[in-house]
Structure 1
Amino acid sequence: GSRMTAEGVLVLTARRHRTQLANRADALARLAALLERAHDRPARRIDTRPSRAARQRRIDAKAARGRIKAMRGRPAVE
């Protein structure tokens, strides 16, 4: 969940080490990394379109699926 309290205080816990001093240093290092990550904006995603071959594969797969489903019914009596 969230690391923010209702008052807006950021809470980090560190229990990796045996001593409080080492855990405090670990928490501060993690806080620095968290702030560093929050500072950088994520790279903007560039919209892409399916290639013509990918579109054709999709249509072919849909047609094949349709043929499979068409075979499910009872055979026609002639």
Structure 2
Amino acid sequence: MEKEVVLHFFRAGGPGGQHRNKSETAVRLFHPASGIVVSAREHRSQFANRDLAFKRLIEKLKARNRKAKKRIQTKPTKASKRKRLEGKRRRSETKKQRRRPAAED
């Protein structure tokens, strides 16, 4: 796994004083095959951040390989069908009322 990844160490910002400002403890991993970039800067040590970044990369790769579940199509309920048809009937009646009355013989 380490051979497939490009490691980049940099200075992590935030509180921590001189140690934080002098040492390059933050880690950025780039996985060229997938294009995923992961970084870690939570810990004071480079080794711990490196470990954390690799764990994050593995999780992202696993998530990428998971297949999405197919959606199971559901049928409209009887009540929703009834409601839809009632709305159609009302609309039809409204339009019928707009027409001219039929000529009586």
TM-score, normalization by structure 2: 0.42
- Greater RCO (CA < 8 Å, at least 6 residues apart): 2
In structure 2, give the amino acid aligned to 1:31: L
Aligned residues: 57
TM-score, normalization by structure 1: 0.54
- Does residue 51 in structure 1 map to residue 67 in structure 2? no
Residues 37-61 of structure 1: CA distance to partner in whole angstroms, max 9, x if unpaired? 111101111111221123445677x
The 4+ residue runs of structure 1 with deviation greater than 2 A are 54-60
Change (3 A) 1:52 1:22: same
Identity score, percent: 35
In the alignment, the residues of structure 2 paired with residue 20 and residue 59 of structure 1 have an alpha-carbon distance, to the nearest angstrom, of 67
Flag structure 1 segments of 5+ consecutive residues without an equivalent.
63-78
Question: For residues 24-43 of structure 1, what are the structure 2 equivalents within 5 Å?
Answer: 24-43=50-69
